[in-house]
Amino acid sequence: MQNATQLELDYLPQLPQDKSPGIGCIGAGFIMADCHLVAYRQAGFNPVAIASRTPQRAQEVATRHGVPRAYQTYRELLEDPSVDVVDIAVPPDVQLSVVQEVVHHGGRIRGVLAQKPLGVDYTQAKEIVRLCREAGMTLVVNQNMRYDQSIRACKTLLNRGVLGEPVLATIDMRAIPHWMPWQQRLGWVTLRIMSIHHLDTFRYWFGTPDRVFASIRPDPRTAKKFEHQDGVCLYILEYENGLRCSSWDDVWSGPALEGAAPDHRILWRVEGTEGVAKGTIGWPRYPAREPSTLDYTTTQQPGYWLQPRWSEVWFPDAFVGPMAQLLCALENHETPEMCGEDNLQTMALVEACYRSAREHRAVSLAEFS
């Protein structure tokens, strides 16, 4: 093997020249407090206000991160003249109602960063996209796995043709996430929470597939807490050019919480006609900082595995990327890569997985157009 720690791979986000736009933060849960605001401070962004369903929590997070103002409600935050963009980190079933309020401030508030999933389903996602478009607001959806360093580095290899024509791509996740309370009321476990990352990653790497076949079953552990269908999810994406992508998203991961030894990991692999890339995602070790990895071999440099490495990690460092993309889009008057219209295709792919599993058939994305 050959170490290659200084390879020129485009694994970091492009930052705006102007980092001064004021960010209004709606929500003060884990994602905002431990990921967004941590990443924004290290990037030099400018969070100016925060509001939460629990004002005391908003004040605690504001104090912790040096955010100047904590408001009693997000409606008060939206009236703050220093807020140029809003970062919405609320549960999916609340997201649409928040956006409905935000768009009344179009003109002064120019951009929105919204969490994935974009609403509770494809229909709500379309409505959020429509509202932002008609208000003249730039919408970016926080599909932050696109900024995991190994995922982004692999995209560089694909863009440069290092791997040749893609043949097969796989993701294998065996991990036990920390579930959010709102998941119980929605009855969701994996497809809209974890699989959406992987489905969007395949789209980022290769574009939108033609059809998907999915098979799901409940997670035995989580089934004791609340009813759901999508615990363990297996799916295959088919592209007309012959490419196949597949993922095993397993949040059961064996009886690791019941006494057996844990074996948690996320592995990915891309095989092409001229090379192979494979990697690990460090997220299952959070809060320990374990960088994701990339190894690749190519016919252009036969006989070697190249191993670029970095110190950055997905959680929280990659959360710089989506906000940076929004600020760059506003600065350069351009459409962001992770715009709302693009994310509709990811939302449609998630919905197609549910339909496929329910109806036991391959589902074409054309059914959602």
Question: Which one has a higher pLDDT value, 6 or 281?
Answer: 281
300-318 pLDDT per residue, tens? 999 999 999 999 999 999 9
193-213 pLDDT per residue, tens? 999 999 999 999 999 999 999
% of the chain with per-residue pLDDT over 70: 98
Q: How do strand 2-3 and strand 22-26 relate by DSSP bridges?
A: unpaired
Q: Do domains 22-143+321-335 and 146-318+347-368 have the same CATH topology?
A: no
* 3 state SS of 68: coil
Examine residue 117 and say whether the peptide bond preceding it is cis (omega within 30 degrees of 0). yes
CATH hierarchy code of domain 22-143+321-335:
3.40.50.720
3-state SS, one letter per residue, for 198-209: HHHHHHHHHCCC
Q: According to the model, what pLDDT value does residue 243 have? A: 98
Of 43, 23, 149, 153, nearest to 88 (Cα)?
A: 23
Radius of gyration of the chain (CA): 20
Residue 5: pLDDT band by 50, 70, 90 thresholds?
Answer: very low
Examine residue 316 and say whether the peptide bond preceding it is cis (omega within 30 degrees of 0). yes
Q: According to the model, what pLDDT value does residue 30 have? A: 96
Torsion angle of alpha carbons 366, 117, 105, 54, nearest 10°? 160
CATH of 146-318+347-368, one of 1.10.1040.10, 3.30.700.30, 3.30.360.10, 3.40.50.720: 3.30.360.10
| First-to-last C-alpha distance (Å) of the chain | 47
Q: According to the model, what pLDDT value does residue 3 have? A: 45
Residue 234 has pLDDT above 50, yes or no: yes
- How many residues in total does the chain contain? 369
What's the whole-number average pLDDT of the chain? 96
Domain ranges of the chain: 22-143+321-335, 146-318+347-368
Residue 6: pLDDT band by 50, 70, 90 thresholds?
Answer: very low
Residue 2 has pLDDT above 50, yes or no: no
Question: Can you name the residues that pair with 275 across neighbouring β-strands?
Answer: 298
Of 196, 132, 193, nearest to 336 (Cα)?
A: 132
209-224 pLDDT per residue, tens? 999 999 999 999 999 9
82-129 pLDDT per residue, tens? 999 999 999 999 999 999 999 999 999 999 999 999 999 999 999 999
pTM, rounded to two decimals: 0.96
Residue 73: pLDDT band by 50, 70, 90 thresholds?
Answer: very high
Query: Which pair of tokens denotes residue 261?
Result: 């030894």
Q: According to the model, what pLDDT value does residue 304 have? A: 93
Contacts by residues 15-19 (CB-CB < 8 Å, ≥ 24 positions apart): 15/43, 15/320, 15/324, 15/328, 16/324, 16/327, 16/328, 16/330, 16/331, 17/331, 18/327, 18/331, 19/43, 19/44, 19/45, 19/46, 19/327
Cβ atoms of 44 and 327 closer than 8 Å? no
CA distance 246 to 199: 9
Q: According to the model, what pLDDT value does residue 294 have? A: 98
Residue 7: pLDDT band by 50, 70, 90 thresholds?
Answer: low
Of 348, 284, 326, nearest to 148 (Cα)?
A: 284
Residue 4 has pLDDT above 70, yes or no: no
Torsion angle of alpha carbons 226, 350, 326, 33, nearest 10°? 10
